[in-house]
Structure formats: structure tokens, C-alpha cells
Structure 1
């Protein structure tokens, strides 16, 4: 027996956006100040460590030096000045200390045990004249098991080094001691002052760095903010905003890319609007015709057949219009062309053979260019055949239509010449626009006015142009001229 399990499905809530709400300008300033603070703190710590180690080395060296000088005098056993023997430890201390000049924070002591009391004589830095070393402190130093150490005094921490003096009468228990010492708080006072000065300077540097980074970040991000405001102002109806480009740095490159993107967007939206306008303009008429015939169609079979024929013709025309509009829209895309090196004689021969199948005309191949060109052969064929179809629509059976091609220094041209009514000069400037029909019009009245627009689109996709030469009443020559090499791409 199985037990059913009920699972409740709940819609997932909105996923919170990742990242931070802190403005980029504040982040730049914060990171810069943080890096500066870390760097300055590292410098301060290193300086403090090095200086304190230097003080330690100087103090230890001074203690050892003073002890060595006292041992040298004690080993001689006489006064170098008077050559008198020094048998009394106290006199030995007085004689030695009288010739010493203590360093800053240094104190030199001679301590002699006289019964239960200690008698001392010292030589010290004048700045330490008020520091009193009492018997308790001295007994702690002379009775310490180690010959060196530290002790707290009214003047701060005292680092000392002791030399035991044995009695001149013999014995292993010292009754006198020579002590050299340094007051560490005084010795490190300059270092502490230096560190405090560095801290103060670092604080000022951080404040100045924060201010400078705030200003610089604002200047750096100003173009980015311009891009953001421009993007916010963009709408489908208004894509005309562009960002001024200054300099050649990364920000200028960003502005150039943004402007290029806007150009592509504007072109894409313009193509879409053009397609919608054209479709709405041209498809409205066949739709109206179809609807009108269907609404008045009777029950007579012959009438029904005629209505079906008319509707079918209009639907076919609508399909052709849609195909042409789609082709014009695709002409704006980068993959519209597939260029390759193409033999002009072979291409011209193929176009001539295909054109002869369009209609019974007197087709003549009047010129053939020699060489290879870098073009899309299928699109060129499509353009020339469209010109041939246009020539057929404006001529009668048996009329002469001439085709040709020519290769120039840096371009190639293809043309079709008919013997029709020609193109008035007033129509020549706009004959290649969409839905424009010449004043003469096609003989059969068909055509949506998109054929020559397609020819123009193919020529311009090759970075070329479409042209017409005509004398009214004496025919017209339509052609395209495009670059012959790969440099256009």
C-alpha cells in the first residue's frame, strides 16, 4: 500500500538583484582611500618596527660598551691618571664615572654594600636628574639572578646590565656592582614623536586623497553618466541623441561604441517603421479589393469563379509585395551579401541567358567586361534581372532590349537598355525610391513600385549606386555600378 505525498508548489519570488547600491564614484573613492590607508599603515608599522629595533640595538650596544670600559679599568687595578692602586670599590666607581659622559636616556651606577645599606654613586643624563632610584629598586637589580633585565622606575622602564665586583681581599660573593642602564621611554620618545607625526601626516594625506579621488572619479565617470542619461532619454520614437567624443581614451572609445550602437538601433527602428508603413500602405488596397468582391459575390458559379480568380491574383500580388518588402528589410542586415571573387564574363552570360526567358523580346548582349570582381553574384543577378523585368514591362513583344557589363579601373557596371517610352527628367531623381512609378507606368499596370528600390538596395549594399540615363520617347538605360575589389568590404 502506498501513501500519497502532497507537494505544494509555490511561485518563486523575485530574485533580488545582486551587487550594491553604492554609487560608483563613492566606490572608487572608498577603494582608493582604503588602499592608501593600507599603504600608509604599512609604512608607519615598518618605520616603527625599524626605529624600535634600531633603538634596541643602540641601547644594547651602549650597555655592552659601558660594561667593557668598566671591566678594562677594574682589570688594571690602578688610576691611570695618578697610577695609584684602586682597592676601594667606591673609589673605583667614582674614578670611572668621573670620566664618563652619559648618552641621552643613559644612567651609570656604582653600588656598594655597606652592612645592610647600599651606597651608590651615579652619572646620568641631565634630563633624568629628577628620577630617584631608591634602595628597594637597587636591591632588586643587584640581587637579580640574571646579569641583565628591565625594571620599572619613576622615570619609566629601565633596561640594565650589571657587572659584579668581587672583594679585593678575595671571596666569591660580590659586595659591589657596576650597573649601566637606559630609560627606554626616554630613548624611544623621539621614535614615538616621529610615529605620531607620520600618523598625522597620513590622516591629512587620506583626507586630501579622498578629495582628489572624489574629483577625479567624477571627471572619469562624467562620460559614463552622460551615456547613462543618454540611454535613459532614448525611446523608440527618438533615437537621435549622441554623445560628444573627446580624446582617444577608453571613455572616448565607450562613447564611440555607444554612438555606433545608437546608429544601428536607429537604422533598425527606421527599417522596421519603413516596413510597417510600406506594408500598411501597399497591402491595404488588395485587402480592400478582396473584401469588396467577397461581399458582393453572388451564387452564380461563373461569378464565383471570377471572384476567386480576382482574389487569387490579389493574394499573389500581396505575396510578391511582402516578399519584396522583406527583401528590402533584409538589405539592411550585415549578412545580406555573400561576396566572392566572380568572373564577370560568366556572370554576364548567365544573366543574359536568364533574362531571355522572361519575355519574348529581341535580347542583345552588347558588351561583356573582362576580369574578376568581388561581389555577391546572386544579388547582382537578382538586380540585373529586375532591371530586365522592368524593361519588359515598358516594351512590347519583339522590342529590342540590350544588356551589358564593363570592368573599369576600380569598379564594375551592369546595365539594361530598353526601347520604351523613357523616363521623364522629373522622375529620374526619384525613380529608385519605394513605391514610385514613372509617369509612363508599366504597360500592364502591374507592379508595386518596389523593383527599382530593390536594385538600389543591392547596389548600395555593395557600396555602389544605381543609375538611369534616359531621353523621353527614346528608351532608357538602367544600371548599377559597384566597386570591383575587396576594399569595399
Structure 2
């Protein structure tokens, strides 16, 4: 074999595929209640309900706060008037005479007459339980809604000995708050009654709440329309998934959901597309397995059927027929096994990567190859170092190359085996190779010899070369194993002068590794 023969790579290096643990079995789905309302309506309904509850809560809380503010403002006004009256009593000087007040009536009339009351405020001077004087800010058409005319008796609850402040919701003037300041001048006593009518302010609050309710209703209608549109936008990718799922059939698994953006919906579409990719690969693998099995098993089944139909009663002919049938059944078993290996090559756990000592692996492969045939086996070179690969699959691939070498050589012919590193650093690669002295591989065959059901080369014997035997799947398995490692399978041959078959695997350099020639 010449050393300047071209090397024909059969596969492009691929990234190393790390082993993936099998996915856990899906949990049993719980029975869900049947939903008859479309998802778009449900989303819209929930948005509307949440908006209604929010508006209702805001309205009720706002109403309560504003009414409380009305009561607080009325109390503040009462306390302010009461404080002014107390200061007035403490002074006790009649501004007209610069003398102390001579009577309770004079003090009350003087104080009430000086006050400028605001709207809905009433000041009442009380002596002996009757109205003495009144100052109010009530509109003329509502003059004295409490009938606080002079000489009129004050309601009993406003003169209770232990109650000096209170509120009334059902008075003739509507809701009000009041406070009373009692005082004594000489031997007589009197009181100032301060009344705050809160009906108008409370009515204003109710009008505001009603206006808010109208605005809220309009807002709910607007939000309903927006919710309907938003729900449609949210569910648009889901509808796209639905359409794609409906369009998928057994004969067309190529349709995919368009993915836009990077949000959760896009993630769902991406996951769905990935699922379709897996289903398409699985379907293709199954279809290829069925096609390959039908293609390869048709001939041996025909042979077995024909032999059985011609089975005679002669013992010698019967024995020969059974031998042929058994041979064909053995070949069928091997074909099925090889097809199953190729089908499994599409699974993520086909290759199980682990640390492996290359020297030990090479020696083990050479020892196992000795049992393949009566040949002169020679171990030419051994690479030393540790590489991450699947030792069982690599052994399977190299032994397949060795078995092919046995098929194209005769007893006593020489077959060489070796391993070496090529390159350095992260680009370093491990090569394991098998060299035979057979007839070699024709250039046309070299380009496609690693494909399924392709048989190339010839086997030399005393009667001249004959076509190679086998199913044509062995080198396809070698290629599947190297693809699983992200490597390449190759052949280097000059037709008529033997061939060198090898695998090229990625082996990034992490430790210093040397090669030992033998």
C-alpha cells in the first residue's frame, strides 16, 4: 500500500453529544372538568371581573373616606367655635360698657351677634332649655330647618346632662353634627349650641360617587374591548399551534409554528416545534427502519420459502435444505440486529461518553480482533493518554472494520491495527485504524461505502475476486458511531493494493500525551 494515496473523509465532524438521561415517564393526568366557554371569553371575563371588583372596592373605600372627611370637618368647625366661645367667656367683658356681662342673655346675644357663620352652620344661644338667639348660614328657602326660633324648646337629646356632642341622621334638616358648651354666670347658667348641617356635603359625596360609578362603567366597557383584543393577541400563537397540529398528518411532519419574540408564548411555540422535530426524526427513523427491513429481508424470506416448498423426503437433500434455511435465518437475524443498532443511533443515549485510557482500549481491540479470523494481526502503534469517548461503541466500530478486513483477505494475510493522535490542543483528534492487504476500494465506492446497503471492493481467493458478502450495514454502523462522537469515518485506499479504514474522533488535549510505536 502506498503512503501517498488520498484520504476520503466520509462525514463532517460534529459537536460531541453528551449523554442525556432518559426522560421520566409522564405523570398520569388528572381528569379535568369539561370547559365549554372558549379561552378568549374566559380571559376577557376574568379581566372584567377583576376590573369590576377593583372599581367597586375603590368606590366603596373612597365613599367611606370622603364621608368620614365630612364628619371630621364638621367636628373641627364645632371645636373651633367652642374654643372661641370659651375664650369669650374667660374675657367676660361687655365691649359696649367695658363692664362684666350683667346677664347670661346679654353674653349669649353679644357673642352670637358678633359671629359670621358659614353655610350650613347654626349657632344657638340657650337659656333654661329654650332658644334665646340664633345665627345661621342656612339658605333663605331653608330658614331654620330645625325650627330654632327664639322661645322654642331645644330637643331633649341636645340638652342631656351627660351628652355635650352628638350626631343625628334623621333630623328635619337632614344629617347633622352638634356640640354644646355649658357655662354659668352668677347664679344662672346657659349654653351655646353649635350645629353643623352635613347633608349638602354628604350629598356632594354621593354625587361624586355616582359620577365615579358612571365613569367606572364606561371604563369597564372600554377595558372589556381592550381585554378582548389583548386576549386575542395572547391566544394568537396558541391558535397557530392549533392550526399546525390540525395540519400535521402521518405523511407531513414538516409544518412548524412561526416563533416571534422571546416571551413565554414564544417559548411554548419553540417547545412545540422542538417536539415536532423529535417526532419527525422518530418517524423518519421508523420509516427508514421499515423500508430497510423490507428491502433486506425480502430476499432471505423468498429463499427460505422456496427451499421449504421444494423440501423433499430424501435425508441428504432435507439436511442440505435445512442448512440453507438456517443460514438464511442467521443472516436475517444479523440484518435485524444491525438495523436496530442504526435505529438506536438516532437516540440521545446511543453514545455514552466517559473517560477512557486509549492504550488499554487499543490493546483490548487488538486482542478481540484475533478471534475474527486466522490472519497475521499486527499492532503497529498505540496512542497513550485519556480521552472522553464511549469505549464500547468505539470497540464495536473498530471490530467491524477488522471484520470487514477479514472478509477481503485470505488465511495468513496480514492485517494491521493502530491508534494515534493528530493535531494538538483543543483541535487534537484520535485516530483508530485497520489496514488490510485486500483488493482495496474503487474510487467510486470510496465516496459512498459508508452508506447503508452499499457493498464495495472484492474478496481475493484462488479463483479470482468475488463480490463482498454481508448486508452492507456494517460500515453504516461505524459511521453512526463516529457521528455520535462528533467525529468522522474515512477510508484510504489504492484499488488493488489494499485499504486502510479508520475513525477520527475529537480528543481535546488536557494532559501531555505521547505515542508509542511498536
**Residue of structure 1 aligned with 2:85, choices 70, 86, 108:** 70
Q: Give, in whole Å, the separation in 2 of the partners of 1:271 and 1:143.
A: 97
Q: 2:271 aligns with which of 245, 252, 257?
A: 257
For 1:330-359, what per-residue CA distance to the aligned partner results, in whole angstroms no more than 9, with x for missing partners? 111122222222222221222122222212
Check 1:360–1:142 CA distance in 2 against 1; reply closer, same or farther (3 A cut): closer
- Counterpart position of 1:105: 120
Q: Paired residue for 1:483?
A: 506
TM-score for the superposition, normalised by structure 1: 0.85
Choose from 217, 220, 233 the match for 1:203.
217
Between 414-423 and 460-469, the greater mean CA deviation after superposition: 414-423
Distance 1:23 1:440, change over 3 A: same
Q: Determine the C-alpha separation between the residues in 1 that align with 2:140 and 2:375.
A: 126
- CA gap 1:138/1:200 in 2 versus in 1, 3 angstroms: farther
Q: Which TM-score applies when normalising by structure 2?
A: 0.80
3-state SS of paired residue (2:330): helix
Which residue number corresponds to residue 444 of structure 2? 426
CA distance 1:231–1:142, change in 2 (3 Å)? closer
- Cα distance per residue 1:405-455 (max 9 Å; x no partner): 211232111122222222222222221111111264794753111111111
> Residue 375 of structure 1 corresponds to which residue in structure 2?
389
Q: Which runs of 5+ in 1 are unaligned?
A: 1-14
For residue 42 of structure 2, the aligned residue among 27, 32, 35 is 27
Question: 2: CA distance between counterparts of 1:158 and 1:351?
Answer: 106
Would the aligned equivalents of 1:416 and 1:479 in 2 still touch at CA under 8 Å? yes
Q: Alignment RMSD, CA only?
A: 3.0
- Select the residue among 103, 124, 135 that pairs with 1:123: 135
Residue of structure 2 in register with 1:134 after alignment: 147
Alpha-carbon offset, residue 33 of structure 1: 3.6
Q: Secondary structure of 2:229's partner?
A: helix
SS at match of 1:351: helix
Aligned to 1:454: 477
Equivalents in 2 of 1:478, 1:274: separation in Å?
Answer: 26
Over 3 Å counting, the alpha-carbon distance change for 1:128 and 1:428 in structure 2 is: farther
- Distance in 1 of aligned mates of 2:132 and 2:279: 97
Q: Deviation per CA, 1:108-148: give whole Å up to 9, x if none.
A: 2235679xxx6654222253652433379854257742443
* Distance in 2 of aligned mates of 1:413 and 1:83: 125
Distance 2:278 2:125 in 1: 95
Q: Partners in 1 of 2:396 and 2:109 — Cα distance?
A: 121
The answer to whether the 8 A contact 2:345-2:481 is kept is yes
Name the SS for the 1:384 alignment partner. Answer: helix
1:11 maps to none
CA distance in 2 between counterparts of 1:79 and 1:194 reads 46
More deviation, 280-289/360-369: 360-369
| Alpha carbons 1:395, 1:443 under 8 Å: kept | no
Worse overlay, 263-272 or 202-211: 202-211
**Aligned pairs, number:** 466
Deviations along 1:362-402, one digit per CA (max 9) or x if unpaired, are 33323322322111111111111111111221222233322
| Unaligned stretches of 5+ residues in structure 2 | 1-29, 460-464, 511-518
The worse-fitting range, judged by mean Cα deviation, of 438-447 and 359-368 is 438-447
SS of corresponding position for 1:299: coil
Change beyond 3 A, Cα 1:198–1:376: same
Q: Which residue of 1 aligns with 2:347?
A: 333
Q: Distance in 2 between matches of 1:445 and 1:483?
A: 31
Q: Distance in 1 between matches of 2:157 and 2:285?
A: 102
Cα drift, residue 97 of structure 1: 2.2
Higher normalized contact order (CA 8 Å, seq sep 6+, divided by chain length): 2
Q: Distance in 1 between matches of 2:509 and 2:128?
A: 109
Counterpart Cα distance in 1 of 2:248 and 2:439? 49
2:372 corresponds to which of 358, 371, 377: 358
* Structure 1 position 290, deviation (Å): 0.9
Between 343-352 and 32-41, report the one with greater CA deviation. 32-41
Q: Which residue of 2 aligns with 1:48?
A: 63
Is the contact made by 1:423 and 1:438 (CA closer than 8 Å) also made in structure 2?
Answer: yes
The answer to whether 1:301 aligns with 2:315 is: yes
